[in-house]
Structure 1
Amino acid sequence: MLTLPEPCVVVLVGPGAAGKSTWAQTHFAADRIVSSDRLRALVGAGEDDVTASADAFALLDTVVAQRMRRLTTVIDTLGLDPQRRAAWVAAAKAHGLPCVAIAFDTPAAQCRARNRARTTKRIPADVHTSQLRGWAKTRELLASEGFDAVHLETPARTVPEVFVEAAEARDRQLDDPARLRFGLHIGRFQGVDVRQSAAQAEEAGFDAIYVMDHFRQIPQLGRAWEDFLESYTTLAYLAACTTKVRLGALVTGVTYRNVAHLGKIVATLDVLSGGRAVCGLGLAWFKEEHVAYGWPFPSVGDRYALLEDALQLLPLLWGKGSPRFEGRSLTVPEALCYPRPVQERVPIIVGGNGEQRTLRLAATYADAANVMGDLATVRRKAEILRGYNPATRLTHLGTALVAADDRHLAELVERGRGRRSREAYAKEVNAGTVADHIGRFRQLADAGVREAMVRLPDPACVGPMAEVMAAFR
């Protein structure tokens, strides 16, 4: 199966009756195919109205030019005109899109037999012979015309860029499995039954459940007035609804609560859950939320000072005795917390992509650092983190729309994309099949990730995600 990045431009090249339209309709949705025949019907009396050919090709070039700005486009025409091919390649490069040619080297006798069998759109014999001769010349030229790749007719699919190189990693995972832990990240509560979601997550094999620590929905995920549950109240509820998964906020905004009080909250969660609490900590970035609730929003420097104090204070609070703590921004006369957590050390995860301060703090005080971003970003963060402290684990937060197969994937993308293009939504949510995601998570594991926290944008993703996770056990 040929895997192409999305969006891209696919130019079909071959004589009439070589199978180009059938191939396009088999592997691509109709709204991705720009067909000269269909455009001939639009500007003429029908698909076989040859007098409308010039207008149809002029319209085709206009449509292709507009689509190249952001959409996958399959150009379904003869593709035998070298000037047009050159123009399509140049336009794709100008828009930063990969442009590939699919060559239909169907034997001439087979093309002629197909053409004779047609009841409509039969090509006149002399015209068809000219096309076959033209193809013989074109076949030798394609490799030198600047296409990113030239492929003989083969099954194909398009995927977001993140999955283009995933097939090799998937095969490697199946042959030589790497271990990877998975956490479900719940970032939306509108219309969500958290008890049911937790039960499904535990049954599916997630190692942990994380919730966002906000008090209103963040603009990246929804509208401010959407239903949004308070994080630690929700985690306490989930402690009673689950038996195995670890529970934590990813990540707790360090400005939202008195830090000593936060330590008491996390310790209580650990006790009530039987030792399953995780403490995520972050700098707190959402200024509008602070303003709305009347909370101070300190400078970046002051928040870093508070974060570093919290990272030192919390383990003291969860430990023995009641030592005094004096930090750069916090003074706690008695770091006292009873009952103490069940765990000897509640795991601390520092969230954030800052390389100079955030990762350094994680490496100095925490058990893990949580980052976001693509594979190249993760590799860079992993290298920096190893430089600070090789023992600090790297975790990754991202979205994963996981489907059983390509048909299921198309359904989920169509259901979730709203007014966005298919390509834009698929990229936003990392839309792929089980096989795609096995490869992607193996790449993350190879980059140094030890736990992947995932948002699932559709409840139907839970089952396929279970298959992905099973490959890493």
Structure 2
Amino acid sequence: MKLGLQVPVFTFPQGQEHLGDTFGLIAERAEQVGLYSFWVMDHFFQIAVFGPPEQEMLEGWSALAFAAGRTKQIKLGTMVTGITYRHPGLLVKTATTLDVLSKGRAYFGVGAAWNEEEHQGLGVPFPPLKERFERLEETLQIAHQMWAGDETPFEGKHYQLQRPLNSPQSVQKSHPPILIGGAGEKKTLRLVAKYGDACNFTLRLGADVVAHKLNVLREHCATEGRPYEAIEKTTIDSFALTRDGRNGTVSPAQAIEKFAALAEMGIDHALFSLQNIADSEPFEVLNNIVPVVDKIPVAGR
């Protein structure tokens, strides 16, 4: 089983003047302890589950480029890019650039977008939900076309690209893995089955709901003629990790038990954020956890 670290909060005890140093050190530590992947949210304002909108929030793709310069092996992704934030042709170009400069380490994390407050705040158009999903599907089509090297014009309902040229091409072949965020059963999971390489479910849904969503994804894969096993199943969680589980934190044994339960459900890749991420302790603990979890078999694999 693979493990990945998400950094959703950039308000560190060290202060904003040390934000780059702290963030870079976190990326380095994540790689040093053997984590498979490193993720940031792609938001412009902080979201309510983590803090007020005024808290520091780094732009996602720039932050990943910075992290790429501080690391050598760890995979890098957005969890996830709202499709309304960037024109799809430029977004594919951005993701390709990260993949090229990091020597093949990019994930392409995308979703239909939901945070109306940051759209209004920065003057970004926020279409109705139906249109956002239409735009998401067209973006996925454009991504596949550009990564296939097909420069023929793209004529969609919302996007028209006269020459979708993408040079240089991505290092990963046939393209960086496409992770589609969200758990909607009629639209999102259908898009995962048709266009995606990975899905993501928040564990706030509960284990039974996640198991149900996986079954729905399996049905969509059958409809699309896509092997269910071809989709990387990921989850996202948040907790504080300490060596002794003090004050309601998660201990090493509890963490391993948590990840083993996810592997038994068929989750390939468990992502998490650390509420004590600015401390060295959780990384010291992870140094012992990661080798154990790496050996846990994933059900169905």
Relative to the length of structure 1, the TM-score reads 0.56
Does the aligned pair in 2 maintain the 1:397–1:452 contact within 8 Å?
A: yes
Structure 1 segment 147-226 matched on structure 2, within 5 A: 180-191=1-12, 192=19, 193-226=22-55
In structure 1, the partner of 2:236 is: 397
Deviation at 1:327, TM superposition (A): 2.5
CA distance in 2, matches of 1:465, 1:383: 31
* 1:351 partnered with 2:190: no
- Per-residue Cα deviation, 1:106-125 (whole angstroms, up to 9, x for no partner): xxxxxxxxxxxxxxxxxxxx
- Matching residue within 242, 260, 274 for 2:103: 274
* 1:469 partnered with 2:290: yes
- Matching residue within 266, 269, 273 for 1:448: 266
Deviation at 1:346, TM superposition (A): 0.9
Does the aligned pair in 2 maintain the 1:375–1:443 contact within 8 Å?
A: no
- Per-residue Cα deviation, 1:335-354 (whole angstroms, up to 9, x for no partner): 11111111111100000021
Deviation at 1:363, TM superposition (A): 1.0
1:395 corresponds to which letter in structure 2? T
In structure 2, the partner of 1:338 is: 167
CA distance in 2, matches of 1:206, 1:370: 18
Does the aligned pair in 2 maintain the 1:456–1:462 contact within 8 Å?
A: no
In structure 1, the partner of 2:217 is: 385
Deviation at 1:194, TM superposition (A): 1.0
1:349 corresponds to which letter in structure 2? L
In structure 1, the partner of 2:15 is: none
SS in 2 for 1:211: strand
- Per-residue Cα deviation, 1:93-148 (whole angstroms, up to 9, x for no partner): xxxxxxxxxxxxxxxxxxxxxxxxxxxxxxxxxxxxxxxxxxxxxxxxxxxxxxxx
Percent identity among equivalent residues? 34
- Per-residue Cα deviation, 1:275-319 (whole angstroms, up to 9, x for no partner): 111100011110000000011111110000001111111121122
SS in 1 for 2:140: helix
In structure 1, the partner of 2:125 is: 296
SS in 2 for 1:371: strand
1:306 corresponds to which letter in structure 2? R
In structure 1, the partner of 2:298 is: none
2:116 corresponds to which letter in structure 1? K
Any gaps of 5 or more consecutive residues in structure 2?
13-18, 222-227, 295-301
- Matching residue within 131, 138, 148 for 1:319: 148
SS in 2 for 1:432: coil
Does the aligned pair in 2 maintain the 1:385–1:392 contact within 8 Å?
A: no
CA distance in 2, matches of 1:275, 1:347: 10
In structure 1, the partner of 2:257 is: 439
SS in 1 for 2:218: helix
Residue correspondences, number? 273
Does the aligned pair in 2 maintain the 1:210–1:248 contact within 8 Å?
A: yes
Q: Which has the higher contact order (CA 8 A, sep 6+)?
A: 2
CA distance in 2, matches of 1:394, 1:321: 29
* 1:367 partnered with 2:197: yes
Relative to the length of structure 2, the TM-score reads 0.88
- Per-residue Cα deviation, 1:145-186 (whole angstroms, up to 9, x for no partner): xxxxxxxxxxxxxxxxxxxxxxxxxxxxxxxxxxx1111100
Any gaps of 5 or more consecutive residues in structure 1?
1-179, 414-425
1:437 corresponds to which letter in structure 2? A
- Per-residue Cα deviation, 1:377-401 (whole angstroms, up to 9, x for no partner): 2211111111222132211011132
CA distance in 2, matches of 1:364, 1:236: 29
2:7 corresponds to which letter in structure 1? I
CA distance in 2, matches of 1:224, 1:369: 27
CA distance in 2, matches of 1:360, 1:274: 31
Structure 1 segment 124-143 matched on structure 2, within 5 A: none
Deviation at 1:365, TM superposition (A): 0.4
CA distance in 2, matches of 1:245, 1:259: 25
CA distance in 2, matches of 1:463, 1:387: 41
CA distance in 2, matches of 1:266, 1:278: 8
CA distance in 1, matches of 2:113, 2:150: 30
